[in-house]
Amino acid sequence: MLEEILPGLAHAPNTHPMFVHFPIALWAAAGLFLFLGMVRQREDMFIAGRWLLYIGAIGAAVAIGTGLRAADVLGHDSPGHELVHVHRDFMLAASGLGLVATLGAAALRDRENVTAKWGVTLLALATIGVLTLGADRGAALVFQHGVGVADGPEPSLDSPHVDDHDASHDHSHDSR
């Protein structure tokens, strides 16, 4: 049944890729809203940023759990094994920063402490920076080392490429 509904996920070696993008997107949006809320002196934007921090923290907890499980399954002989540790460390650091920013934002609820709000905003922006470094290492694991990517059949150089779709449009796969 899963293969019919979600054929890609049915063949995935783990669920980590399904969850990693949530904290990245949510915390990036949180940083933007917090910053704009402070610069424009718009409390509604700061509140939106605070809620994005909360939801991002939940997403980070799930991403950490699935990521640690995925790393355990990989084993020490997998390609890019050392990079897995670098990726993990960056993401745990980002999650720690994000959690501190989230707790700080929660503590500031209904308070007008501008200095503390700037502190939360800067923590959120620092979270984005460290998250970006960790996401880059995760991308390197996938795109440079093929971690989590199934080995497919090698394309044949002897047979021409055939498109199995409507030919009413013109496009070429030739790179010349």
pLDDT digits (tens, 9 = 90+) for 110-152: 788 999 999 999 999 999 999 999 999 999 988 888 887 766 5
Tally of helices (H runs) and strands (E runs) in the chain? 7, 0
| DSSP letter assigned to residue 161 | P
Residue 161: its pLDDT value, please?
57
List all residues 6 or more positions away from 131 whose beta carbon is below 8 Å from its beta carbon: 23, 24, 27, 28, 90, 91, 94, 98
Assigned token pair, 164: 């199995």
Domain boundaries of the chain, sorted by first residue: 12-143
Residue 72: its pLDDT value, please?
85
Closest CA to 149 of 96, 47, 74: 74
Residue 110: its pLDDT value, please?
77
Q: Kindly report the backbone phi and psi dihedral angles of residue 41, in degrees, each rounded to the nearest multiple of 5, phi listed first.
A: 55, 50
CB under 8 A, 24+ apart: contacts of 71-74: 73/13, 73/14, 74/147
For the chain, list residues with pLDDT below 70. Answer: 150-176
The residue behind tokens 């991308």 is 139
